[in-house]
Amino acid sequence: MPSRFKDWWRRGNALIWFSGATLALSLLMIGGLVGYIAVKGLGFFWPSPLVQMQTGEGSILGEVTATEAAQGEDAAKVQFRVGNRDLFGQDYRWVPKAELKGESFPADAVLVERLEYGAFIGRIKSVEKEGQVLAQDAEALAAIRGLVPGAEQLRKKIKGIEKGEVGGLNAQIEDLRLEQRGLEAKAPGSPKLEALRQRAQALQERYDQAQVSLGALHAQAAALTVTLAAVDGQTKTIPLASIVRIVPANALGTFGKLSVYASRLWEFLWDDPRESNTEGGIFPAIFGTVMMVLLMSALVVPLGVMASLYMKEYAKQGWIIRILRIAVNNLAGVPSIVFGVFGLGFFVYTLGGSIDRLLFSDKLPAPTFGTGGILWASLTLALLTVPVVIVATEEALSSVPRSQREASLALGATRWQTIWNVVLPGALPGILTGLILAMARGAGEVAPLMLTGVVKLAPSMPLDGTFPFLHPERKFMHLGFHIYDVGFQSPNSEAAKPMVFMTALLLLLVVVILNLFALRLRSRLRARMGGGAF
Amino acid sequence: MTTGVSMTQSDASPSVPEPFRAPEPALEAPKGAPPAMPRQANIPLTDAAALEAKPILHIQELNLFYGEKQALHDINMEVGEHTVMALIGPSGCGKSTLLRCINRMNDLVANVRIDGRVLVGQDDVYAPGVDVIALRKRMGMVFQKSNPFPKSIYENVAYGLRIQGIKDRAVVDEAVERSLIASGLWDEVKDRLQDSGLGLSGGQQQRLCIARAMAVQPEVLLMDEPCSALDPLATSRIEELIFDLKRNYTIVIVTHNMQQAARVSDFTAFFWMGKLVEVGLTEKLFTNPRVRMTEDYISGRFG
């Protein structure tokens, strides 16, 4: 036996098993993490049944969200999501299990998602138009279903006017005001001033008109109302236009639940957030993340490639370059918050401040570039990830065979022509590997962004339909910061918990998709070159 | 100059007055003691064409040092126009180094010092202020290991023209076709010019490299053991090619293979430990060498 064991040991089988087990453990951890996030996040959109029960303090109606076993003196208890924050003061309630009696799933119970105060859980009493009851009780739901598309259209129209016309007019008025102020300081009494004033007045009139028509639309929207009754008998009348979705969870079949799930997922992906980010969608955050990563990539690749080209191809390989290389590698280990502080101090205050003084002095003291923005955040992250690109590029440059460089030089190419035509194309797959690593690192970084331009809620996107379309000075939203904000800064963190998981899942997904693009690009490049070293 | 090839030992070295005797002691001689060599070795030439050849490449009193170590000692030779000169000798004898002196590829190596002169036509390669880039355009080079770029076959051949800034499609097309025909590759690749050059076989890749070197119509073709990584069939194709190319190009070829030198070259130069031992008509050098060491080498007694 011992000799067989020795034999087994000597052959190195132990090491094979050990390395295999380590790999399995790593995979298990990664799979477990992603799986946990996915299950917790994706389950959130599935409509849960609405349970009605008797407690010591009357009836309770809601979704069961958690149960806790008895622990020492604490009796077993159940957590309900009861909704109706405006009536009960809180969304969630813990009830001792012993008090609960008479479980039932009333078919007429509905969960109403509203624009304000979170969900309402209860029953629909009636639908009214300007106080006149249109339908009651059992028919009310069907009547609402008929009215919802119209109300939704109205809501979209209002939103469109607010964001588009009114927003545009606002921006124009603001620009005119600044121009006027500048002119008053420079040349008071110039005839241009009067023209400006007239234009401002015309704009103001248009603005007022838009406000009037908006008011009319608002009134139209407010005409249709729905009266809801909570389980304790309290009623609440809300405008139909403020209803996002009505889910009669107990009456839905599998298909109905699926369609609710799909519509909630759709809203989550493509809508703006509501209720301090705990409801609605996270589209601005997805957009901000992708755009920031792309901007960062566009900045970090030229920076890193140029730096490593000099270090590898031009500089004399002596102790200076060796020290430089060590310094670059160490730069990768600097805590990201330090980069954030640097970005704030150098990019935002120094660079941005100078740009403001030079180009946007008429807007001061309101800063344009002198405050956090997507450009500064991307630049900071580019600085943070540049060591990764430099190391990968240097590696890729060394992998280009010397014989190919010599072939090019022997044909009379200059050094730069050789680099541009032979070395860089050969190194491109390796450079892309560096970019993939940099993107993964950059997309997950939050701390430096908090100092250089990320916000909880951005009023406008860094890329939109108003001239000049790309607004690098604007603040933006980011999935990573969204996780932190919703999970730990939100007043209603219990309600926001599933959002945290969903956002984390989406952040992972965004990174994976961006990487897949880069991977595909790399494999196509390799195929075109007929198999490279990387 | 009436001879296609001449070999002269520098008059400034009086340390070798006696004729060469035996190779054995010289081989074991300590470093720095040059083997004895004949002072003047003007070979009577029989080949009429070679006699008429006008020398285009002159190497005069060339010394090359890698740091402190001297790798080439006082080389003097000439190569006639449209002839093939083979450089033979054991490994490390400096024949590749000499080849790379001609188009200044040794510039890329750190710590190299060169003195002496290399003339292409009338122009001194090592004159101060010479345009190395322009110089290299006059000399094509084919390397030991085929090294096509990771580009299409077409772009590989067109590379030399592209870096000269030639954009005219017709000119480039014509040059690519001419070079590929000259290198005997045209019939094999004419239908897949846009495929990667790395997809070709070893022999085809080497011929692609020859086509690439010829596309810019150099005056001299430098070949550094072009067949050492190829099988016999591919080797014979390249040898035939060299034979054809001789009509239009001056070729200097480094080879380890003495049969190859005998087959393809008009003249052969034998090197040993950084020194030019003997140079002459190939036929003469292989059948009736003037120096004993040459005979020992070509008959396989050392090297």
Chain A positions with Cβ closer than 8 Å to B: 401, 403-404, 406-414, 417, 421-422, 425-426, 528-532
Nearest to A242 by CA among A216, A258, A223, A267: A223
Q: Which of A414, A425, A531 sits opposite B133 (nearest CB)?
A: A414
Distance CA B92, CA B191 (A): 42
| pLDDT score recorded for residue B42 | 37
CB–CB of A530 and B150 under 8 A? Answer: yes
Domain architecture of chain A: domains with CATH: 283-528 (1.10.3720.10)
Residue from the list B108, B147, B196 with its beta carbon closest to the beta carbon of A529? B196
Q: B257 in contact with A at a CB cutoff of 8 Å?
A: no
Of B105, B164, B216, nearest to A406 by CB-CB distance is B105
The DSSP secondary-structure symbol of A249 reads G
pLDDT at A529: 67
Measured at the CA of A530, the angle between CA A528 and CA A533, to 5 degrees, comes to 110
Helices A493-528 and A479-488 cross at an angle (nearest 10°) of: 160
**Number of Cβ within a 10 Å radius of residue A525:** 18
d(CA B252, CA A243): 88
Cβ contact B198–A408 (<8 Å): no
Q: Distance between CA B28 and CA B75 in Å, rounded?
A: 22
Closest by CA to B241, choosing from B84, B121, B131, is B84
Nearest to A403 among B103, B143, B196 (CB): B143
Q: Are A61 and A103 in contact (CB under 8 A)?
A: no
3 state SS of A130: coil
Higher pLDDT, A241 or B41: A241
Report CA torsion sign: B222, B224, B225, B226. negative
Determine, for residues B143 and A531 on separate chains, whether the beta-carbon distance falls below 8 Å: no
Count Cβ atoms within 10 A of the Cβ of residue A175 and give its class: 0-12 exposed, 13-18 middle, 19 or more buried: middle
Q: Where are the alpha helices (DSSP H) in A271-352?
A: 283-309, 319-331, 336-342
Q: Return d(Cα B283, Cα B262) in angstroms, integer.
A: 7
Q: With CB atoms and an 8 Å threshold, state whether A410 touches B149.
A: no
B119-154 exposure pattern, b = at least 16 Cβ within 10 A, e = fewer = bbeeeebbeeeeebbebbbbbbbbbbebbbbbbbbb
- Is the whole-model pTM more than 0.90? no
Amino acid at residue number A84: N
**HEC secondary structure over chain B:** CCCCCCCECCCCCCCCCCCCCCHHHHHHCCCCCCCCCCCECCCCCCCHHHHHCCEEEEEEEEEEEECCEEEEEEEEEEEECCCEEEEECCCCCCHHHHHHHHCCHHHHCCCEEEEEEEEECCEECCCCCCCHHHHHHCEEEECCCCCCCCCEHHHHHHHHHHHCCCCCHHHHHHHHHHHHHHCCCHHHHCCCCCCEHHHCCHHHHHHHHHHHHHCCCCCEEEEECCCCCCCHHHHHHHHHHHHHHCCCCEEEEECCCHHHHHHHCCEEEEEECCEEEEEEEHHHHHHCCCCHHHHHHHCCCCC
Here the tokens at position B197 are 């050059």
Q: Does B209 touch chain A (CB under 8 A)?
A: yes
Name the region of A226 (left: φ>0; alpha: ψ -120 to 50; beta: rest).
beta
Q: Domain ranges in chain B? A: 148-217
Partner-chain residue, chosen from A406, A412, A531, that has the shortest CB–CB distance to B143:
A406
Report the distance separating Cα A381 and Cα A383, nearest Å.
5
pLDDT at A307: 93
Please give the structure tokens belonging to residue A224: 């249709």
Q: What is the separation of C-alpha A331 from the centre of its chain, rounded to a whole number of angstroms? A: 28
Report d(CA A242, CA A221) in Å as an integer. 9
Asked if residue A518 lies in contact with residue A435, where contact means CB atoms within 8 angstroms, the answer is: yes
Of residues A314, A401, A393, A433, the one with CA closest to residue B149: A401
Which among A129, A490, A522 has a CA at the least distance from the CA of A280? A490
What pLDDT does B284 receive?
86
Question: Which residues of A are less than 8 Å from B211 in CB distance?
Answer: none
Q: Do B212 and A407 touch (CB under 8 A)?
A: yes
Nearest to A423 by CA among A314, A527, A316: A314
* A203 neighbors A133 (Cβ within 8 angstroms): no
**Tens-of-pLDDT digits for all 534 residues of chain A?**
677 888 888 888 888 889 999 999 999 999 999 999 998 888 888 888 999 988 877 888 998 888 888 888 888 888 888 888 888 888 888 888 888 888 889 888 889 888 888 889 988 888 888 878 888 877 888 888 888 888 888 888 888 888 777 877 887 888 788 777 777 777 777 777 788 888 888 888 888 888 888 888 888 888 888 888 888 888 888 888 888 888 888 888 889 999 999 999 998 888 888 877 778 888 999 999 999 999 999 999 999 999 999 998 888 888 999 999 999 989 888 999 999 999 999 999 999 888 888 887 777 777 778 788 899 999 999 999 999 999 999 999 998 888 888 899 998 888 899 999 899 988 988 999 899 999 988 888 899 999 998 888 877 778 877 677 788 888 889 999 999 988 888 777 777 788 889 899 999 999 899 889 888 988 888 777 654 433
Report how far apart the first and last C-alpha atoms of chain B are (Å, whole number).
Answer: 34
Long-range contacts of A360-365 (CB under 8 A, 24+ apart): A362/A178, A362/A179, A362/A181, A362/A182, A363/A178
Encoded tokens for B203:
């022999």
Q: Which helix (H) or strand (E) holds A176?
A: helix A167-186
Q: Which residues of B touch A406 (CB under 8 A)?
A: 105, 108, 141, 143, 147
**Predicted local distance difference test score (pLDDT) of residue A1:** 60
Q: How far apart are CA A529 and CA A177, in angstroms?
A: 58
> Tell me, what's the pLDDT at B52?
64
What ipTM is given for this predicted complex?
0.78
pLDDT attached to residue B166: 87
Q: Would an 8 Å CB–CB cutoff place B198 in contact with chain A? A: yes
Question: Cβ A410–B216 below 8 Å, yes or no?
Answer: no
Q: Is B212 on the interface with A (CB under 8 A)?
A: yes
Nearest to A294 by CA among A133, A511, A68: A511
In angstroms, how far apart are the furthest CA atoms of chain A?
A: 107
DSSP A384-452: HHHHHHHHHHHHHHHHS-HHHHHHHHHTT--HHHHIIIIIHHHHHHHHHHHHHHHHHHHHH--HHHHHH
Chain A contact present for B113, CB below 8 A: no
User: In 3-state terms, what secondary structure has residue A377?
Assistant: helix
- Evaluate if residue B154 carries a pLDDT over 70: yes
| Separation of alpha carbons A443 and A436, rounded Å | 11
Q: How are beta strands B139-142 and B220-224 bridged, if at all?
A: parallel
Q: How many residues does chain B have?
A: 303
Measured between alpha carbons, how far is A136 from A86 in angstroms, rounded to an integer? 23
Q: 3-state DSSP call for residue A119?
A: strand
